[in-house]
Amino acid sequence: MNAEIINIGDEILIGQINNTNSQWIAKQLNNIGVEVKHIAVISDDAQDIKNTLQQAQANIIVVTGGLGPTLDDLTKQTITEFFNDKLVFHPEIEQHIKKMFARMNYPYTLNNKGQSYLPSKAKILWNEHGTAPGMWIENHNRIFIFMPGVPFEMKAIFSNEVLPKLKSKFNLPVLYKKTVTVFGIGESLLADRINNWEKNLPENIKLAYLPHPGRIRLRLSSKGKNKENLKQEIENQIVKLKNVIPDLTVSEEVEDLVYAVHNKLTETKQTIAFAESCTGGRLVSDLAQIAGASAFLMGGIVAYNTSVKINVLKVDNNIIDKYSVVSEEVAKQMAINVRKIMKSDIGVAITGNAGPTKGDSDAEVGTCIIAISYSDDVKVFKFNFGQPREKVINRAVSKVFELIFNIIKI
């Protein structure tokens, strides 16, 4: 089975509201094994509505919006014409609206009475939270579902009315999907490294790349009759994936390593402190936003200016003069010294040139140096995250948490 989603509303087209309805509906359909082939957003225009319905090719067409009591709500009248139908009055809908208005002490108007009229071919989809009922129309072996665009009304109708009807009407397949997250590599490079693995995936398993700064999510999905068989098949492929890229961090549990680091530090009871330059406090802030960070997060020093590196973090001025403020030597001293100052088990430092200008350093724009003081060792890493500035900072933050995770999980 496949579906199309049509959202009606000028407010979506002009960017006044976000189109969250399509995202939510698509997820619900996908969860029951119905594949969404097309999503459209159209204006509150009768001809646009008719044209879009005419062009729809899916088994199931889900439409939201345009069912309200005002003159710009054209959907009901338009679909009545589209199906060569007529409107009929439903006293049970009027009774529902009157009871709702009486409870809220609202006046009942002729506009509201108009919502009690539906095309004769439509089955009522009850709207317990609003005045506009949804409609289910079957035509030429296809199902047309019409719902109001108000998200909480639409979700209730879809969950309570639409999903049960779809499940009872069709013998839908079982869908199983799992997402793993690969850290520390770009999309194109990852695709190249796992090319053979991807080519050898069973035909029933689909792979999707979901890139994000600092990490790539890989979603494996499959349809069939037996959920346990599908699950085992995908789990086997994930094991093979990890063997292909043993040097990369592949997580099945978290999509953001901030949470993985948080959990690991909580578990091991190790403390951590940060000395941040180019990230401006982002590292401490990201950890502190998760409840329970006080158990391991000692604090941080934002040494954005060179004078703070010298006067607060006690970085040797001669080292700065010799190697520049963005250097492995300076990052190393920052990590060691913040660990001493904060009396933490781990000291993490980052210094870099996020751009757009070079500032106090001759290092290329995009350069970031990360140092981690841990046990009796200090590991130093150098990267260039390119441009623009926002990209550099975001990638630097992701890389720091990846490096911390890899060190503390040993």
Mean pLDDT across the stretch 154-168?
96
The token duo for 207 is: 């792979």
Q: Look at 213-227, 293-307, 335-349, 355-369 and tell me which has the smallest mean pLDDT.
A: 355-369
Rg of the chain, C-alpha, whole Å: 29
What is the torsional sign of CA 322, 328, 329, 330?
positive
Please report, as a single letter, which amino acid is at residue 118.
Answer: L
Mean pLDDT, the chain, rounded, equals 92
Q: What is the DSSP string of 226-273?
A: -HHHHHHHHHHHHHHHHHH-TTSEEESS-SSHHHHHHHHHHHHT--EE
Mean pLDDT across the stretch 346-367?
86
Under a CB-based contact definition with an 8 Å cutoff, are residues 308 and 380 in contact?
Answer: no
- Percent of the chain clearing pLDDT 90 (strictly above): 75
What pLDDT is attached to residue 400?
Answer: 95
More confident position, 60 or 140:
60
Strand, helix or coil for residue 178: strand
Q: Are strands 134-139 and 142-147 parallel, antiparallel or unpaired?
A: antiparallel
Strand, helix or coil for residue 42: strand
What pLDDT is attached to residue 362?
Answer: 75
Mean pLDDT across the stretch 41-56?
94
Under a CB-based contact definition with an 8 Å cutoff, are residues 191 and 209 in contact?
Answer: yes
pLDDT at 217 over 90: yes
What is the tens place of the pLDDT at every residue in 52-96?
Answer: 999 999 999 999 998 877 766 688 889 999 999 999 999 999 999
Mean pLDDT across the stretch 321-326?
94
pLDDT at 175 over 80: yes
**Of 352, 257, 243, whose CA–CA distance to 304 is shortest?**
352
Q: What distance in Å separates the CA atoms of residue 47 and residue 295, rounded to the nearest whole number?
A: 62
What pLDDT is attached to residue 193?
Answer: 96
Residue 4: exposure state from Cβ atoms within 10 A (0-12, 13-18, ≥19): buried
Residue 276: exposure state from Cβ atoms within 10 A (0-12, 13-18, ≥19): buried
More confident position, 165 or 362:
165
More confident position, 136 or 391:
136
b/e 231-254 (16+ beta carbons within 10 angstroms → b)? eebbeebeeebeeeeeebbebeeb
pLDDT at 103 over 60: yes
pLDDT at 46 over 70: yes
What pLDDT is attached to residue 360?
Answer: 67
User: What residues are paired with 140 via a beta bridge?
Assistant: none
pLDDT at 410 over 60: no
Q: List, in order, residues 6 or more apart from 8 with CB less than 8 Å away.
A: 41, 42, 43, 44, 49, 63, 64, 65, 66, 75, 149
Mean pLDDT across the stretch 144-163?
96
pLDDT at 300 over 90: yes
Other beta carbons less than 10 A from residue 187's beta carbon? 13
What pLDDT is attached to residue 406?
Answer: 86
What pLDDT is attached to residue 215?
Answer: 84
Q: What element of type H or E holds 401?
A: helix 389-408
Q: What distance in Å separates the CA atoms of residue 139 and residue 60, rounded to the nearest whole number?
A: 10
More confident position, 213 or 137:
137
What is the tens place of the pLDDT at every residue in 253-264?
Answer: 777 889 989 999
Q: What distance in Å separates the CA atoms of residue 350 and residue 372, rounded to the nearest whole number?
A: 9
Model confidence, pTM: 0.66
Q: Look at 26-30, 75-79, 182-186 and tell me which has the smallest mean pLDDT.
A: 182-186
CA angle 287/348/179 to nearest 5° reads 50
Under a CB-based contact definition with an 8 Å cutoff, are residues 310 and 317 in contact?
Answer: yes
DSSP state of 135: E
Q: Look at 2-6, 15-19, 329-333, 370-374 and tell me which has the smallest mean pLDDT.
A: 15-19
Q: How confident is the model at residue 192 (pLDDT cuts 50, 70, 90)?
A: very high
Mean pLDDT across the stretch 178-194?
91
Please report, as a single letter, which amino acid is at residue 363.
Answer: A
